Amino acid sequence: MSDTISKSAANTPANTVAARKSGARSGFPPASLDALNFLLADVRGALGPYLNVFLVTEQHWSQESVGLVTAIGGWIGLAFQAPAGGLIDTTRAKRALIVFALVILGAGAITIFLAPDFWPVMIANNLMAIVGDIFGPAVAALTLGLYRRAELARRMGRNSAWDHAGNVAIAAAAGLVGWAFSQRAVFLLVPVFAALAAVAVLSIPAAAIDHERARGADEQDEVDHAKAAPSGLSVLLTCRPLLVYGACAMLFHFANAPLLPLVGQKLALAHKELATAMMSACIIAAQAIMLPIALWVGHTADRWGRKPILLVGFAILPIRAVLYTFSDASGWLIAVQLLDGVGAGIFGAITPLVLADLMRGTGRYNIAQGGVATLQGIGASTSGLVTGVIVDHFGYTPAFLEAAVAATIALGALLIAMPETANVPSSRGPTGRSGRNIAAAASSAVPSSA
């Protein structure tokens, strides 16, 4: 009887949490998460800017047609951002969800390769936009479920670094394939890397994932299952810092998203035979900077706080957009693209940490990610259409200056309205009433006296 009692006591929730806090993760190999981040970057990196350049230079689409496909795909994708986050919060089949999305993405890339006409490309791009909503939040959720909060900043930085390393690898591979074969052949890289990414995610043991922590529940709340219940969705609308950050992210992406495709098009039109190689050079230039930036963010975010680092990233964007207008020389354009490695590198590495700060204890981390990603998508997809019209009617320089104005507005909003989020206390008070203290806590960045 005493042995039974002892075994029962050993399996209490408190002891389970203690085991988790000790770092035990059921033999989880960190290299699996490294490989997943690296390969998912490869899967997504063979699309996007390469598709735009391919359609303009090889298929002779107009800027407005490309902008329309990009905008519609973005709008459809963003409509699924928040539902995708909610699904990731609730499902325990996170690995299977990633594999399913990889299958759809690979099939879409093959469709574009076989039939690069308007409607096949439109349909394939829309489906890829929908499943593309899954990757970022799902990987962030896996990371939360595999690592304790004290380890999170460094792990998120490491995730971002491997993501950028994957972008460098796919840019180099795409440049080589485009030069040796054709721009069209680049899309065949997607199903290859998708299969490898599926192997990587399945190598993460299902038992190693703490699904309560993966949706943003506090570790101490795991002892009290009543407290571990997710907060109401209203927490997304009552957290003022979350709304401010979402608006800043939308403006940032409205300004940033069209810059690389525009630069790639300028380079491709000047050097048509080297179009893919030129685009790869732009991507490699930025990603080579993003990799150390991501590691630096992971090592300094807890000591410096989030906001000072974010301000640096946001300040770089309007400067970069204006610098593109100074010269059309290929060397200059590629050199300016290096600044993207600082701005976008900071934003990509620190955003998961800001959201983890704000949603701590609510159980709504992934749906908050989906909500912010929706706003990012609104900015990115709308800017594709807007800049396409501007370029067709006024040229490239006005399009770059329009992006600079939007980026400046984003910087001002971040400086004035966004509080520091580091060391924000749990959004749950001792009563377990979730979402009530988020805005006040984030605004003051001082632990609640409760």
67 vs 121, residue with greater confidence: 121
Query: What average pLDDT score do residues 326-355 get?
Result: 90
Residue pLDDT, tens place only, 64-115: 788 888 878 877 887 887 788 888 888 899 999 999 999 999 999 999 999 9
Q: Alpha-carbon distance 226 to 47, whole Å?
A: 44
Contact in structure between 430 and 253 (CB atoms under 8 Å):
no
Rg, Å, the chain Cα set: 22
pLDDT in the model for residue 267: 82
Whether the predicted pLDDT of 12 surpasses 80: no
175 vs 97, residue with greater confidence: 97
- Lowest model confidence (mean pLDDT) among 266-270, 423-427, 429-433: 429-433
State in Å, rounded, how far the first CA of the chain is from the last one: 41
Contact in structure between 102 and 197 (CB atoms under 8 Å):
yes
Q: Which two tokens stand for residue 361?
A: 């204890």
Dihedral, CA of residue 247, residue 253, residue 254 and residue 260, to nearest 10? 170
pLDDT in the model for residue 381: 76
pLDDT in the model for residue 380: 84
Residue pLDDT, tens place only, 346-384: 998 999 899 988 988 887 888 888 889 888 888 887 887
Q: Which two tokens stand for residue 225?
A: 């299952």
- Cα–Cα distances in angstroms (integers) from residue 30 to residues 63, 147, 195, 201, 263, in the given order: 43, 10, 20, 11, 36
Can you name the CATH fold of 29-219+232-443?
Answer: Growth Hormone; Chain: A; (1.20.1250)
The closest of 284, 290, 301, 288 to 345, measured between CA atoms, is 290
Supply the angle between the helices 149-180 and 118-146 in degrees, to the nearest 10: 150
Q: Which residue has the tokens 């354009």?
A: 333
The closest of 91, 168, 192, 171 to 137, measured between CA atoms, is 91
Contact in structure between 263 and 387 (CB atoms under 8 Å):
no
What angle (nearest 5°) sits at the alpha carbon of residue 252, between those of residues 248 and 257? Answer: 150
323 vs 269, residue with greater confidence: 323
How many alpha carbons lie under 13 Å from residue 23 in its C-beta half-sphere?
A: 5
Residue pLDDT, tens place only, 344-355: 899 989 998 999
Residue pLDDT, tens place only, 128-166: 989 988 998 899 899 988 988 788 888 988 998 898 888
What percentage of the chain carries pLDDT values higher than 70? 82
pLDDT in the model for residue 24: 40
pLDDT in the model for residue 46: 54
Q: Alpha-carbon distance 86 to 143, whole Å?
A: 17
Contact in structure between 303 and 157 (CB atoms under 8 Å):
no
Supply the angle between the helices 63-79 and 365-394 in degrees, to the nearest 10: 170
pLDDT in the model for residue 215: 78
The closest of 231, 212, 214 to 222, measured between CA atoms, is 212
pLDDT in the model for residue 2: 44
Give the residue extent of every domain in the chain. Answer: 29-219+232-443
How many alpha carbons lie under 13 Å from residue 202 in its C-beta half-sphere?
A: 10
229 vs 274, residue with greater confidence: 274
> DSSP code of 362?
T
Most confident of 174-188, 218-232, 303-317, 412-426: 303-317
Contact in structure between 187 and 106 (CB atoms under 8 Å):
no
Residue pLDDT, tens place only, 198-244: 999 999 998 898 888 887 766 554 444 444 455 556 777 889 999 99
Residue pLDDT, tens place only, 296-313: 998 899 889 999 999 999
Query: Dihedral sign, CA of 212, 216, 221, 225?
Result: negative
